[in-house]
């Protein structure tokens, strides 16, 4: 049975004074949708979007993931309207390296000028003087991981950090070699890649980062725009008297102590469901069944 509200254990970002609960919130879905343009424009109900953010913080969430290319600009402006003055201890993590075209397309913006502009836009739209964490999203390919040096991009963020505009730096959509390259330039506090019950290509990386005290933050923890569908997951949820998505989130939290989850939603009711997942304890036999989902997907 799903228990009372709670946000699991805490995690301290390496080399920082920032501690966050491992159950956070991803703000991407607060932006609207215009036809086939995903994460585009204002939401249909701005008041509900504001209510979601305030409900998250009221329930103890102190880790919000966002980016100024959500909307674009919309999500950060809603965060500012809903939460500023920001509560003490709230950590806002943003991403840079992309911009949006007129048709909603995701366009790489990894030049020194593009990254610098993105940092300033995030500061302006969030109403901040310094950003807590900026993730460089590696955009050699918008949809798939791709090799390539990120020395120039990480160096640019490190210089902005030295100017006092960024406290800490992370990576998103990054390969192991790129993570190693970045860490030779500047300390990396988190890595954000696609990872969930069905997509476990980063299993070894999760363990390596855990050994270094670096946070691993799965994006699309529930499958993204195509939610996870699995008989094993459905059956596990029935046994535990929870929803499949709650079990998928609980699995991530039990997978490794350095995993921080950031499920997104534009609904207060759905937010509450997601937060309750932090209180689920998955029995060993159910964990074994869930661990088989990835193997089944690989075979199929």
Write down the CATH number for the domain with range 10-225+257-263. Answer: 3.20.20.100
Look at residue 35 in the predicted model and tell me its pLDDT: 82
Look at residue 229 in the predicted model and tell me its pLDDT: 75
- What digits encode the pLDDT tens for the residues 229-250? 788 899 999 999 999 999 999 9
The question of whether 86 is a catalytic residue gets the answer: no
Question: Which of the following is catalytic: 25, 70, 86, 216?
Answer: 70
Local confidence band at 3 (pLDDT 50, 70, 90 cut-offs): very low
CA 6 – CA 59 distance, rounded (Å): 8
- What digits encode the pLDDT tens for the residues 71-98? 999 999 999 999 999 999 999 999 999 9
Mean confidence (pLDDT) of the chain: 93
Number of helices (H) and strands (E), helices first, in the chain? 10, 11
Domain boundaries in the chain? 10-225+257-263
pTM of the model as a whole = 0.94
Q: Which of 51-60, 218-227, 259-268 has the lowest mean pLDDT?
A: 218-227
Look at residue 228 in the predicted model and tell me its pLDDT: 72
- Compute the Cα dihedral for 190, 194, 197, 203 and give only its sign: negative
């Amino acid at each position: 049975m799903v228990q009372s509200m709670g946000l699991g254990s805490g995690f301290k970002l390496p080399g920082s004074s920032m501690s966050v609960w491992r159950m956070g919130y991803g703000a991407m879905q607060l932006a609207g949708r215009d036809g086939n343009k995903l994460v585009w424009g204002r939401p249909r109900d701005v008041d509900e979007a504001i209510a979601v953010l305030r409900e998250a913080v009221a329930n103890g969430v102190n880790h919000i993931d966002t980016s100024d290319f959500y909307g674009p600009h919309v999500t950060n402006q809603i965060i500012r309207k809903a939460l500023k003055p920001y509560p003490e201890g709230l950590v806002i993590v943003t991403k840079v390296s992309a911009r949006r075209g007129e048709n909603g397309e995701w366009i790489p913006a990894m030049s020194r000028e593009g990254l610098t502009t993105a940092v300033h836009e995030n500061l302006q739209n969030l109403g901040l003087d310094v950003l807590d964490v900026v993730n460089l999203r590696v955009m050699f390919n918008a949809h798939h991981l791709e090799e390539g040096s990120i020395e120039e991009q990480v160096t640019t963020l490190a210089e902005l950090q030295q100017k006092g505009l960024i406290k800490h730096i992370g990576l998103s959509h990054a390969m192991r070699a790129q993570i190693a390259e970045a860490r030779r330039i500047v300390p990396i506090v988190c890595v954000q890649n696609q990872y969930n019950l069905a997509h476990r290509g980063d299993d070894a990386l999760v363990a390596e980062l855990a050994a270094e005290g670096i946070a691993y933050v799965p994006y699309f923890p529930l499958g993204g725009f195509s939610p996870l569908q699995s008989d094993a997951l459905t059956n596990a949820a029935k046994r535990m008297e929870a929803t499949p998505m709650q079990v998928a989130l609980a699995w991530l939290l039990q997978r490794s102590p350095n995993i921080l989850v950031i499920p997104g939603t534009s609904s207060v009711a759905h937010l509450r469901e997601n937060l309750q997942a932090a209180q689920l304890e998955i029995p060993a036999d159910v964990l074994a069944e869930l661990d088989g989902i990835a193997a089944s997907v690989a075979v199929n």
